Amino acid sequence: MKQNPVVNNSPELQDSIHETKRRLAQRPFPDFISLRQHVSVSFEFFPPTSIELENKLWSCVAQLAPLRPRFVSVTYGAGGSTRQRTHATVDKILAETSLIPAAHLTCVGAPRDEVDKVVRRYWDIGVRHLVALRGDSADPGRAFISHPQGYQTAAQLVAGIRKIADFEVTVAAYPEIHPDAESQQADLDNLKRKLDAGANRAITQYFFNADDFLRFLDRVRAAGISAPIIPGILPVTNFARIVKFSEKCGATIPVWMRDLFAGLDDAPDMRQLIAATVAIEQCRLLLEQGINEFHFYTLNRSELTRAICHALGLREYREDSLCELNVSG
Ligand SMILES: Cc1cc2nc3c(=O)[nH]c(=O)nc-3n(C[C@H](O)[C@H](O)[C@H](O)COP(=O)(O)OP(=O)(O)OC[C@H]3O[C@@H](n4cnc5c(N)ncnc54)[C@H](O)[C@@H]3O)c2cc1C
């Protein structure tokens, strides 16, 4: 039954409408499509441990490559455990794709001259971008112990790399502070040391509250650091696993996120939808604040990252078809 609309012209309602309009004008919802030219992404992969995982990785690479990432990075397993597999994966990206690889390298379990040899080898085969990290102990319960003749910190590793060749160097940053850091200021000083040693940019540990990143960025800029700080975005595929991992790495799982994923342990399809929504909203909030470069921890799965990039306005580019990025209007 059609009802006559009740017109409410109360001054309170008019004030409220006016206030809402004012706020919307101040924080316009970003037009993802018009932003597409400005958004830049990079993707992180891990080296596979079996034929099945290898197939999964290369299928993921093939799915994400048309989004034209600025670079793709390949991790180095905890405790230096994937050394050969990291090299092999980087070699294959370089040889068989048009993507630009960035090889992760840690200080763990090797003397400096051995690490330096790896750096030279990368340069010789044409790798020009390294992600320089301290790394962690292979045993998750134990503290990091440096090799007696090794690099002790990521800052030392950056300086070592810089002495060898003119690599682009990325380092890690921690919006919620590294668990080993003595204080927020000590962690910030450490980031500055890495950039002063010659790093070009930092990628952050994942976080779920956009505000944590934005407040960190404020502190970084207040400390006089002008290098790009790229938010690390983790699309959540397995919530229970992320909760466990976050306890170790110091990332907060917000209450609203626990609430969103509650009761979905046996509903993987719904989890995917929620995960995409959470990450898209996170990126949207960052875009609103002028952040337009994102690094995705893909976990070698393409679906969520593709969906999020699509929402950010990125369109797939194929050599053999009209590039959508050039289609105007
Ligand atoms: C983007 C990204 C990628 C990653 N990739 C990998 C990977 O591929 N493989 C892997 O094993 N791990 C990886 N990690 C995890 C990383 O190795 C761990 O977080 C590690 O515990 C710290 O590495 P770092 O490079 O940040 O260390 P550092 O920058 O050396 O800092 C480690 C801690 O020591 C403190 N510190 C450093 N120097 C000093 C000093 N002189 N005095 C006092 N305190 C000091 C710092 O404040 C900090 O708390 C990654 C992390 C991120 C964010």
The DSSP string of 253-314 is --HHHHHHHTT-TT-HHHHHHHHHHHHHHHHHHHHHTT--EEEEE-TT--HHHHHHHHHTT-
* Pocket of ligand 1 contains residue 181 by CB under 6 Å: yes
Q: Please say if the pLDDT value at position 189 is more than 80.
A: yes
Distance CA 256, CA 124 (A): 48
Report the percent of the chain where pLDDT is more than 70. 84
Which of 21-35, 78-92, 161-175, 292-306 is predicted least confidently? 21-35
> Where are the alpha helices (H) located in the chain, listed in sequence order?
11-26, 32-35, 51-64, 83-96, 112-125, 154-164, 184-196, 210-222, 239-249, 255-261, 268-288, 303-311
* Pocket of ligand 1 contains residue 231 by CB under 6 Å: no
**Which residues are catalytically annotated?**
44
Q: Please say if the pLDDT value at position 195 is more than 60.
A: yes
Question: What number is the average pLDDT over the span 252-278?
Answer: 95
Cβ atoms of residues 277 and 307 within 8 Å: no
* Pocket of ligand 1 contains residue 91 by CB under 6 Å: no
Which residue's CA lies nearest to atom 20 of ligand 1? 135
- Taking the CA of residue 181 as reference, the ligand 1 atom at the shortest distance is 49
Q: Please say if the pLDDT value at position 7 is more than 90.
A: no
178 CA from centroid of ligand 1 (Å): 7
- The three-state secondary structure class of 198 is coil
Q: Please say if the pLDDT value at position 269 is more than 60.
A: yes
Instruction: Check residue 8 and give its pLDDT.
Output: 56
Fold of 37-313: TIM Barrel (3.20.20)
Tens digits of residue pLDDT in 237-263: 899 999 999 998 989 999 999 999 999
* Pocket of ligand 1 contains residue 212 by CB under 6 Å: no
Q: Please say if the pLDDT value at position 222 is more than 50.
A: yes
Instruction: Check residue 227 and give its pLDDT.
Output: 98
- Taking the CA of residue 191 as reference, the ligand 1 atom at the shortest distance is 29
* Pocket of ligand 1 contains residue 153 by CB under 6 Å: yes
* Pocket of ligand 1 contains residue 154 by CB under 6 Å: yes
Question: What number is the average pLDDT over the span 83-109?
Answer: 95
| Residue (of 134, 66, 127) closest to 102 by Cα position | 127
pTM of the shown model: 0.88
Tally the C-alpha atoms within 13 A of residue 210's C-alpha that lie toward its C-beta. Answer: 15
**Higher per-residue confidence, 78 vs 43:** 43
The token pair at 297 is 């921890």
Question: What number is the average pLDDT over the span 92-98?
Answer: 95
* Pocket of ligand 1 contains residue 175 by CB under 6 Å: no
Q: Please say if the pLDDT value at position 295 is more than 70.
A: yes
Tens digits of residue pLDDT in 117-140: 999 999 999 999 999 999 998 777
328 CA from centroid of ligand 1 (Å): 43
Tens digits of residue pLDDT in 20-76: 666 556 555 555 555 555 899 999 999 999 999 999 999 999 999 999 999 999 999
Q: Find the angle CA(47)-CA(201)-CA(108) to the nearest 5 degrees.
A: 45
Q: Please say if the pLDDT value at position 152 is more than 70.
A: yes
Which residue's CA lies nearest to atom 51 of ligand 1? 172
154 CA from centroid of ligand 1 (Å): 6
Question: What number is the average pLDDT over the span 225-243?
Answer: 95
- Taking the CA of residue 156 as reference, the ligand 1 atom at the shortest distance is 30
Distance CA 274, CA 304 (A): 10
Which residue's CA lies nearest to atom 9 of ligand 1? 76
Instruction: Check residue 144 and give its pLDDT.
Output: 85
Instruction: Check residue 329 and give its pLDDT.
Output: 31
Which of 1-15, 106-120, 239-253, 260-274 is predicted least confidently? 1-15
Cβ atoms of residues 35 and 313 within 8 Å: yes
In this prediction, residue 110 has a pLDDT band, given cuts at 50, 70 and 90, of: very high
- Taking the CA of residue 78 as reference, the ligand 1 atom at the shortest distance is 11
Which of 34-43, 125-134, 205-214, 220-229 is predicted least confidently? 34-43
Average pLDDT across the chain, whole number: 88
